[in-house]
Amino acid sequence: MLFVPHFNNMKIISIGEILWDVIGSEEHLGGAPFNFAAHATKLGHTVSFVSTVGDDERGRRALERMQSLGLTTRTVRRVRHLPTGVVSVALASDGQPRFTIHRPAAYDEPELTPDTMEELTRERPDWIYYGTLAQTSPFVRRLTEMLLDCNREAGVFYDVNLRRGCYTPALVQELATRAGILKLNEEEAAELAVVYSIPSETEEFCRACAARFHLRAVCVTRGAGGCALLAGEDFVEAQGYAVKVADAVGAGDAFSAAFLHGLSAGWPPAEIAGFANRVAALVTSRPGGIPDWTLAEAAAMREGNAGAV
């Protein structure tokens, strides 16, 4: 029987970087927290994305793109003294991205007015999402702590997304400790296993992380190989889907949005993992971090099971 996704209309705050991924002569709007916000919106949820853009041409285009994607710009600050974020992206032969991050950037200095902070809290968000990159900024870190403290009933989703030179083990531990959900890829899991002296075998790693950081769920993505998921006491491994790769930029962020969608809807772990894998595969097959895709396409991929690896 085909498992049909349904909407559960969550309210989500996503805080972090919005930037332009420059791939050759092309520019695609991205940043993990922004990509996540866009894909969560596509899944029917209401997302308040908290960030900053420069008062420049890229900033103006970013705000226009946000509006076209159905995202409000009320929580995005504009500043004159910093440029809108840019990342140079080089694609390996397998489509996996390699990033060169240019900082300082506008997203390093978000700010919410007291009225906007009160409004967000009054809306009672179900989830707060963050990654690691922007949290290296003291401005972002302080604002994130304020949002967490004002919304203690909200779940917290931490998408690790390590970037070379843009994290410390102490910061990762601090962010993981505030979270309820941890998502990371195989390379990040291997690195954290060494840093924190925990088992590297996937299931043992997930259980050790859940115990260490008091997590509700841990998910390790494996690219085309699918993913492994620990939800409560249940551990599952789900196959990936073979697609023609355009680029893998944003695939992990789409996975996160689909994963959170299924988890909050109360789906069985195997269904959560399978749905997230399908959404990530669709995004991988198209250029840019937030290409068009539909639930119907994800359902068709499941129904035919074509290309499962």
**Domain-embedded: residue 266:** yes
User: In CATH, what number is assigned to the domain containing residue 258?
Assistant: 3.40.1190.20
pLDDT at 4: 41
- What is each CA distance from 81 to 54, 55, 239, in whole angstroms? 7, 8, 47
Residue 269 in contact with residue 302, Cβ under 8 Å? no
- Predicted confidence band of residue 300 (pLDDT cuts 50, 70, 90): confident
Residues 277-290: pLDDT tens digits? 999 999 999 988 88
Residues 115-154: pLDDT tens digits? 999 999 999 999 999 999 999 999 999 999 999 999 999 9
- Closest listed residue to residue 129, CA positions, set 103, 147, 108: 147
**Domain-embedded: residue 203:** yes
- Predicted confidence band of residue 89 (pLDDT cuts 50, 70, 90): confident
Tell me the C-alpha distance between 243 and 224, whole Å.
Answer: 8
Residues 18-62: pLDDT tens digits? 999 888 888 989 999 999 999 999 999 999 999 999 999 999 999
The mean predicted confidence, pLDDT, of the chain is 91
pLDDT at 309: 35
pLDDT at 6 over 80: no
Tell me the mean pLDDT in the region 79-101: 85
Residue 37 in contact with residue 288, Cβ under 8 Å? no
Number of domains, the chain: 1
pLDDT at 303: 54
The whole model's pTM is what? Answer: 0.92
Tell me the mean pLDDT in the region 76-91: 93
Q: What is the torsion angle, in degrees rounded to the nearest 10, for the CA atoms of residue 197, residue 198, residue 201 and residue 203?
A: -170
pLDDT at 307 over 50: no
**Domain-embedded: residue 6:** no
pLDDT at 276: 96
In this structure, are strands 217-221 and 46-54 parallel, antiparallel, or unpaired? unpaired
Residues 186-210: pLDDT tens digits? 999 999 999 999 999 999 999 999 9
pLDDT at 101 over 80: yes
Which range marks the domain in which residue 201 is found? 11-304
**Domain-embedded: residue 2:** no
pLDDT at 23: 81
Instruction: Collect contacts of 293-301 with beta carbons under 8 A, ≥24 apart.
Output: 293/42, 293/254, 295/5, 295/43, 298/5, 298/258, 299/2, 299/4, 299/5, 301/241
pLDDT at 5 over 90: no
pLDDT at 295: 86
* Per-residue b or e along 74-99, where b marks 16 or more CB atoms closer than 10 Å to that residue's CB: ebbbbbeebbbbbbebebeeebebee
**Domain-embedded: residue 214:** yes
**Domain-embedded: residue 267:** yes
pLDDT at 95: 64
**Domain-embedded: residue 137:** yes
**Domain-embedded: residue 1:** no
pLDDT at 308: 39
Reported as half-sphere exposure (CB side, CA atoms, 13 A), residue 294 has a value of 3
